[in-house]
Amino acid sequence: MTAIELSIAERRDKRALAHHLNAVVHVGAGGLTDPVVQAVDAALTAHELIKVKVHDDDRAVRAEMLATLAERLQAAAVQHIGKQLVLWRPAPDDAPAGPAEPRADRGAGPKVVKIIKFSKSGNHRPQVRKVKILGNQRVAAGGEIKRAKPRQASPKKRSLG
């Protein structure tokens, strides 16, 4: 098995995408055990781009772990910065591509929305409530739920003829 090689531009793009991510796998004192490799493999399958945090102070050991993970899991070693390792592997072909499209014969389904109201004085906790929003509803400013107005029939244009 070989690791995926990325061009400089691809690596830069992946680093930018991974910037805000948190580590999904932590490698402890036991090092790269089989369960750790399986966890990284599962995370790569689910997310494509992941961060792994290694709790070891030796930089050479961390670099070796990054190379080993990339090679064993057929992934690309994107970045090694501090104790964070960034890995990327493209999604498998049999994975569904994005969310399913809504049916054309129906509107959008209901969504659960969290509405937070803060106190005016700031001395009380904010009020949090979850509300189900239907396809013809929206949340207005202030947390009110409003329904869409029914469409008015447009006046027919007369042809001058």
CATH number at residue 19: 3.30.110.60
Task: Please report the pLDDT score of residue 139 as a whole number.
Answer: 82
154 assigned to some structural domain: no
97 assigned to some structural domain: no
Task: Please report the pLDDT score of residue 97 as a whole number.
Answer: 53
117 assigned to some structural domain: yes
Place of tokens 């781009």: 49
pLDDT tens, residue by residue, 104-144: 555 556 788 888 888 888 788 888 888 888 777 888 877 78
pLDDT tens, residue by residue, 50-89: 999 999 999 999 999 999 999 999 999 999 999 999 999 9
Same domain for 74 and 21, yes or no, is yes
Residue numbers of the domain that contains 131:
111-147
Do residues 46 and 28 touch, judged by C-beta distance below 8 A? Answer: no
93 assigned to some structural domain: no
64 assigned to some structural domain: yes
101 assigned to some structural domain: no
135 assigned to some structural domain: yes
Task: Please report the pLDDT score of residue 120 as a whole number.
Answer: 81
Same domain for 84 and 49, yes or no, is yes
More confident residue, 138 or 33: 33
Total of domains in the chain? 2
Do residues 35 and 50 touch, judged by C-beta distance below 8 A? Answer: no
Q: What b-and-e string marks burial along 94-109, b requiring 16 or more CB atoms within 10 Å of the CB?
A: eeeeeeeeeeeeeeee
Same domain for 84 and 115, yes or no, is no
